[in-house]
Structure 1
Amino acid sequence: MSIEKQEENQEMKRELGLLDATMLVVGSMIGSGIFIVSADITRNVGSAGWLIVIWLLTGVITLMAALSYGELSAMYPKAGGQYIYLKESYNKLIAFLYGWSFFMVIQTGTIAAVGVAFAKFAAYLYEPLGDQNVLYTLGNFKINAAQLVAIVTIVLLTWINSRGVKNGKIIQTLLTMIKILSLFGLILMGLFFAFRQGTWDSNWTDAFRAVKWDVGSQSLVSIGGATLFAGVISAMVGSLFSSDAWNNVTFIAGEIRNPKKNIGLSLLLGTMIVTLIYVSANVMYTAVLSMKEIAFAPADRVAVAASQYIFGAAGTIIIAVMIMISTFGCNNGLILSGARVYYTMAKDGLFFSPAAKLNKYEVPGWGLWAQCIWASALCLTGRYGDLLDYVIFVVLIFYILTIAGIFILRKKYPEAERPYKAFGYPVIPALYILAATVLSIALLYYKTSTCGWGLVLVLLGIPMFYLSQRKEPAKR
């Protein structure tokens, strides 16, 4: 058989079961955010009640999206996930704009941000690995040790995943189980052994007072009306980023056993597990730390501040190791799943043609390394906060379009097989679209300097699409 014929007959192996799929959902969602972003949330909304409301609201929004996605994943159990759903609901242009944004910032930007977070906590164990250790300077451009550590981890995980889906599966399942057990252990230790009655009473007395923390004076300022709304919107950037990537399991549908059942179920189980962990962790923070200690934790490392009360002097090392495990596992899931989108795009002639081929380990190796190179380049920007704004705004745009696609597909293909139907249709999908639309418009208004560039990036994909149409589609 010719090499060309062998390439045509290559298929991805269905080696992932329900446990593996659920661990991918959980592992891709839990990275560094839960250990860090509660500080910024607290600065924006001030009180314990509002802190928990932000996390609960984020969990409900994420769960609504996951329940809606189940219908799409059951209808189209193929590699590519959201890209496929958008193509079937709308057209190739909309699907390409998603794929373009996915490669330019959604997936690669998230990989870069998580990689930088890994490096920052590695510096706890060995200080020279931190971002204060500048290795090279050219004008305003600087390369520090933390950026190089982030790049090394991305390259290592890409190499592991390029050698077969089984390798990535083993790492993902093992590290995700470790991080779940570690987080639950941290939460229980905090609630039962480091609980501070005076701190808890202080935090939860008048817990829903509308306030924010003034960074300069580190004092509370009363807010209300539009200012409160702006604070909630700004606060949700971090919680939404921490709860994103739940849909990564849909990208590897071609490698999941019984995908019509297992993808939807893994989305439900995974998002519920993560929401429970996130809300519980923040309840624990309010039992161990004052709201001021949460808001102004050094370098926003809330979990480190809490662990020092829980574990004493060893707390910093314990939490640093936990976060390194968490972020390493998170990036493994992101890297594993991301290249499957480029593979499917290339099959449609909308990405570089080499990405449409599987390597000898039957995974899209070219796409994995292309993703690795661009994510590594984004690490060199070193702008973690800006990456969060870019990613969340762009992600919300395409989540809205994707879930609106459920309504479109119900009209276009009313007789199509739907092994699973969106829970609460049409109310829950409509509520998600409404909530996400309000959030995205508010983000564009309040964070124009970053979200505006995210919108520009999406629109730049339009001329790129028409340029790509000049090429012949890759052979199937």
Structure 2
Amino acid sequence: MRDGEKHAGQVGGERKSPCCCCAPSAIRAPSDGRILMQAKPEMAEGAKVSKVDGDKKEEAVHLRREIGLLPAVCFIIGTVVGSGIFIAPKGVLMNSGSVGLSLLVWALCGVLSLFGALCYAELGTSFSKSGGHYTYLLETLGPLPAFLRLWAEFLFIRPAVASYVCLAFGRYVVEPFFTPCPAPMVLIRLVSILGVTFVVAVNCWSVTLASRTQVTLTFIKMFALVLIIVPGVIALAKGKTENFQNGFEVDALTLDKLPLAFYNGLYAYGGWFYLNYITEEVINPKRTIPLAIICSMVTVTIFYVLTNVAYYTMMSPVELLQSEAVAVTFADRALQGLASVVPILVAMSCLGALNGGFFGVPRMLFVGAREGHWPPIFSMIHIRRQTPLPAVLLMYPLVVLTVMTGEIYQLISFASFSRWFFIALATLGMLIHRYRFPLHPRPFKVPLVIAVTFTVVCFFIVGLSLYSDPWYTGGSCALTLTGVPVYYLTVHSYRLPRRWKRVYNYLSKQLQILLEVAQQEVKTY
């Protein structure tokens, strides 16, 4: 990793890509004899550059701009609408205590997510780099918060979130075959691992294939929501309103549980920031990012509230709390003829969310490695597939391990604290950057009241969660802080023993040759 001191005093400025300490200036690929060249930082996007021009530029190793408006909208919706809306209603109701308050939580989570998405639309158009949270923390608050975001994402946020979705996928695939008996947990975990293996393979194979898979799965999951909403609305129109009587009884509500209700709801909305991970691959990002974010989040909020109304129309609160798979229980009540189809649709929805996560998050690790905050091998791209292969593969082992050992509701609380803490830091950094650099170009500017409201609410929820669930949120905080000594040892001062450095460089060279990857040859930001 490069010395982190090189970033000092450059917040908001331009940085050079790190040198590949794990490879010589040219490495010959074992399969076709191509020379794996170093990145050429001076190559600006769209410029005429010697040796990389026309067809040669098309052949150069770099991530291409292939995400238009429809794929961008599908990318956000497909990542947001995953397992959450089919599992989180139980957690929201359990911690809010009443039907009416749970619906209010769902609506407020949608509004809060929209506010956050608008803030990230400004960030995504103000900074042209991919990387999402990491890039914005680096540009506004400096290298240490940015590194801690990378560290937390790798160590437990991504494994926990992906495992949650994987286990939901496995449950919805397996449970219909064992109804009314409980499905074996071993089989659920096995199917979950098969699901994540498929998604990793797709994202390693082709960016285009991963994008088309996301669009297809998005249409499938929206059809699943429509299939739930329509019978619920019809039953409600016919007067089936008994479950909404006295909907705002708050006897079961305690203040310490309310943040957990919001965590479950916000988790179901999580994913509105994923498009910012792939800014460098979006066509005309200054227009596409804000438009895609606004369209997708308004659509998701409306669908989520209507879906929960449909749940409560056909199921009592007690029945919903007793259900391990809410959508399956709903289908048994309202869609007898199609009850067997709903679990398949929900499983495809989970697969789409998983695909979106594995498409976006590796780009954050990719950019972190490019900036010198992560091993340089992870800033490399496959010479033929044009995918960030090492960054995608890095996430796979920890996700599999978490799937084998994790519990589905504990995973939400464990990951949410650090996730929302860093989101709050990113929007706080946006406000600080506005004050420090008022002339910085901002093609999209969110109203100040929205940015301040979102930041304050995020910090409030994060702070209150430490009180309401100190075990898991405290553990999440402690694991995040373990990145501080790692940063100062490996990035800031790079004080590793010389023998360790030689071994590390040797293994990196061999891994680069084995995976057939090279640094990007065209600057994409």
Fold conserved between structures, TM > 0.5? yes
Q: CA deviation at 1:117?
A: 0.8
CA–CA distance in 2 between the matches of 1:85 and 1:105?
20
CA distance in 2, matches of 1:156, 1:338: 17
1:99 equivalent among 150, 160, 185: 150
1:26-53 deviations in Å (ceiling 9; x for gaps): 1111111111221232223332211110
Shift of 1:332: 0.5
User: What's the counterpart of residue 147 of structure 1?
Assistant: 189
Out of 360, 379, 389, the position equivalent to 1:356 is 379
| Residue in 2 that maps onto 1:418 | 442
> Shift of the alpha carbon at 1:419?
0.8
Match in the other structure for 1:137: none
Contact 2:175–2:183 under 8 Å retained in 1: no
Q: Distance in 2 between matches of 1:41 and 1:410?
A: 36
The unaligned stretches of length 5 or more in structure 2 are 1-24, 27-34, 41-59, 495-500, 506-517, 521-525
How many Å separate the matches in 2 of 1:264 and 1:468?
37
Distance, in Å, in 2 between the alignment partners of 1:362 and 1:400 is 33
Give, as a single letter, the amino acid of the residue that structure 2 aligns with 1:386. Q
Q: Distance in 1 between matches of 2:378 and 2:317?
A: 49
Residue 126 of structure 1, CA deviation: 3.7
Deviation by residue 1:198-249 (Cα, 9 ceiling, x = unmatched): 651x22222222133xxxxxxxxxx5xxx2x223222122111111121111
Tell me by how many angstroms 1:107 deviates.
Answer: 2.2
Pair 1:65-2:116 in alignment? yes
1:302 aligned partner? 326
What corresponds to 1:456 in structure 2? 478
Counterpart among 188, 191, 195 of residue 230 in structure 2: 188
SS of equivalent residue, structure 2 residue 381: coil
Measured after TM superposition, the shift of residue 125 of structure 1 is: 3.9
Q: Which residue of 2 aligns with 1:208?
A: 248
Tell me the distance in 2 between the aligned counterparts of 1:148 and 1:7.
Answer: 40
Cα distance change, pair 46–475 in 1 and its aligned pair in 2 (3 A): closer
For the aligned residue pairs, the C-alpha RMSD in angstroms reads 2.2
**Pair 1:43-2:83 in alignment:** no
Cα distance in 1 for partners of 2:327, 2:227 equals 13
**C-alpha displacement of 1:335:** 0.5
Structure 2 residue aligned with 1:28: 79
Matched, 1:272 2:295: no
The reply to whether residue 401 of structure 1 matches residue 425 of structure 2 is yes
Q: Write the distance in 2 (CA, Å) between the matches of 1:230 and 1:197.
A: 38
Q: Is the 8 A contact 2:109 2:269 kept in 1?
A: yes
Letter in 2 for 1:320: P
Deviation at 1:282, TM superposition (A): 0.7
Other-structure match for 2:256: 230
> Structure 1 residue 438: deviation in Å?
1.3
| Residue 291 of structure 2 is aligned to residue 249 of structure 1 | no
Which residue number in structure 2 is paired with residue 168 of structure 1? 210
Q: 1:374 maps to what in 2?
A: 398
- Supply the AA of the counterpart residue of 1:205: Q
Equivalent of residue 220 in structure 2, options 178, 203, 219: 178
Deviations 1:304-326 (A, max 9, x none): 222112112652x2221121110
Q: Distance in 1 between matches of 2:333 and 2:190?
A: 32
Taking the aligned partners of 1:475 and 1:334, their CA distance within structure 2 comes to 23
Deviation of residue 131 (structure 1)? 8.4
- Go from structure 1 to structure 2 and tell me whether the alpha carbon gap of 1:183 and 1:132 turns closer, same or farther (over 3 Å shift): closer
Post-superposition, which runs of at least 4 consecutive aligned residues in structure 1 deviate over 6 A?
472-476
User: For the structure 1 residues 149 and 446, does the alpha-carbon distance in structure 2 shift closer, same or farther, using more than 3 Å as the test?
Assistant: same
Say if 1:197 and 1:287, in contact at 8 Å, map to a contact too.
Answer: no
1:356-394 alpha-carbon deviations (Å, 9 max, x no partner): 111121111001001112211111113111210111111
- Judging by fraction of residues, say which structure has more helix: 1
Kept in 1, the 8 Å contact 2:257–2:468? The answer is no
Larger CA Rg, structure 1 vs 2? 2
Tell me what 2:311 maps to: 285
Match of 2:341 in 1: 318
Q: Which residue of structure 1 aligns with residue 137 of structure 2?
A: 86
State which of 240, 244, 247 in structure 1 corresponds to 2:266: 240
Q: 1:219: which partner in 2?
A: none
Aligned-partner SS, 1:252? helix
Matches of 2:64 and 2:194 in 1, distance apart? 28
The superposition leaves residues 139-166 of structure 1 with CA deviations (integer Å, 9 ceiling, x where unpaired) of xxxxx22222212211111111111210
Query: Are 2:355 and 1:332 equivalent residues in the alignment?
Result: yes
User: Aligned letter for 2:299?
Assistant: I
> Structure 1's 65 and 186: CA in aligned 2 closer, same or farther, altered over 3 A?
same
Q: Which moved more, 1:372-381 or 1:42-51?
A: 42-51
Partners of 1:162 and 1:131 in 2: CA distance:
35
CA contact (8 A) 2:231 2:310 kept: no
Q: Please, which runs of 5 or more residues in structure 1 have no aligned partner?
A: 135-143, 213-222
Task: Give the SS at the match of 1:13.
Answer: coil
- Aligned match of 1:5: 37
SS for the counterpart of 1:358 is strand
Query: What is the match of residue 434 of structure 1?
Result: 456
Q: Give percent identity, aligned residues only.
A: 27
